[in-house]
Amino acid sequence: MTENENCKETLENHLHKQYAENDNNRIGVFTSFIIGIVALFGFYGYVFVNTNKREYWNFDIQEFLLMSFVTIGILFFLAILSLSFGYSLRRDHFIVFNIRKKRYNNAEVEEIFGKIYDPHGKNFFDFLPDLYNLFYWLFLSSEIFIFITIFIKIYDFKNNGSKLCNCIIILHIILLFHIILIMLTIIFRYYYYRKYTNNITQGCQIPKHLTT
């Protein structure tokens, strides 16, 4: 077996191991994120349902607004994590793709790897790997959902004959905070998309120890 063939076999084994590890990591991240968001929405839903109820144990409107503040802050943080992790994985795809192109000819790349791991040709809505892309849109949608539930609760609050005079300033601050975080979530996606397109334009540098 020639040196080039040994190199190809080593690289192929490395790729199989790398993608297997990535898949396992994504399953772990997926499980953690799902558990976290279910617990978060469970607690938020409990506060939402029990706000302004005429019972012994309930939450007032200020506590509900504070809970919405915390919830959307956590969702924003998770959305940014999804962007960061997803972009890092996509960046690795570029590096691995460049290594394959260096070690294999085009026919071999197409025959062995197909287009499954080709990081090119993605648009603004799908440039992240599937799982992280799904999480990002889930968290952004959840931020918008939380924003809408504030108006639902305020409408219910007024229908019960209550007044917002004592928390109107807090309400405006929280609503502004929600709007800013939703906008930042979209802006950060555009920022990472620009980094992705720059990788296509400029190419990713291949570490020297992987090409020698």
State if pTM tops 0.85.
no
* Tokens encoding 64: 């509900």
The secondary structure of residue 204, as a DSSP letter, is P
Q: HEC string of 10-57?
A: HHHHHHHHHHHHHHHHHHHHHHHHHHHHHHHHHHHHHHHHCECCCCCC
Question: For position 9, what pLDDT does the model report?
Answer: 64
Q: What is the pLDDT, as a whole number, of residue 140?
A: 95
- What is the model's pLDDT at position 189? 95
Cα–Cα distances in angstroms (integers) from residue 22 to residues 30, 89, 128, 182, 204, in the given order:
12, 8, 14, 29, 19
Q: What pLDDT is attached to residue 139? A: 92
DSSP run (H or E) holding 193: helix 168-202
Rg of the chain in Å (alpha carbons): 24
178, burial (CB in 10 Å: exposed 0-12, middle 13-18, buried 19+): buried
- Residues in the chain where the model's pLDDT stays below 50: 56, 204-212
